Amino acid sequence: MDSAIGPETPKVTATTSGFVLAAAIVVLFNTTLACAKDAYAPLKNFMKSISGHDWTTQGLVDLLLFVALGFLFMNRRVGEKLPPDRLTGVLIGAVAIAGFGLALWYALF
């Protein structure tokens, strides 16, 4: 038996890893955009001019970005470069930053 061969590392598909990475990026992008439009009125007005409401525009941008990045990362197999457990950690970290970041932003400003 070849001792160099260890237990197989469990992997996830390129689709899963790509969309998980896309979700983590969109979650952080969403938080940044929420703070940016709150701090910079012209951005909020521009977003309002697109769909009639800045919140509607933000939701559509988030959704489109998630789908676009997900397919991009899936085709280029970008997410596979990270071990699945690291990918999970990145997603949890992104959601934690988003949740506490949003609450802190609106509590302070």
Partner 1 sequence: MPWNISSSDVILLAHATFGVAGSMAALWVFVEALNAQPANAGRIRAAALVTAVCIAAAWICGGYWYVHFYPPEKALILKGPWPFAHNLFMETKEHLFFVTAILAALLPITTREKLFSNSAARKLVLSVAGLIAITGLAVEGAGAIIDHGVKVALLQNASKGSR
Distance CA 32, CA 97 (A): 11
Contact predicate 30/65, CB 8 Å: no
The residues in 44-103 that bind partner 1, with binding defined as CB under 8 A, are 52-53, 55-56, 58-59, 62-63, 66, 70, 83-85, 87-88, 91-92, 95, 98-99, 102-103
Q: How far apart are CA 17 and CA 84, in angstroms?
A: 7
Structure tokens at 9: 């590392």
**Which residues make up the interface to partner 1 (CB under 8 A)?**
9-13, 15-16, 19-20, 23, 26-27, 30-31, 34, 38, 52-53, 55-56, 58-59, 62-63, 66, 70, 83-85, 87-88, 91-92, 95, 98-99, 102-103, 106-107
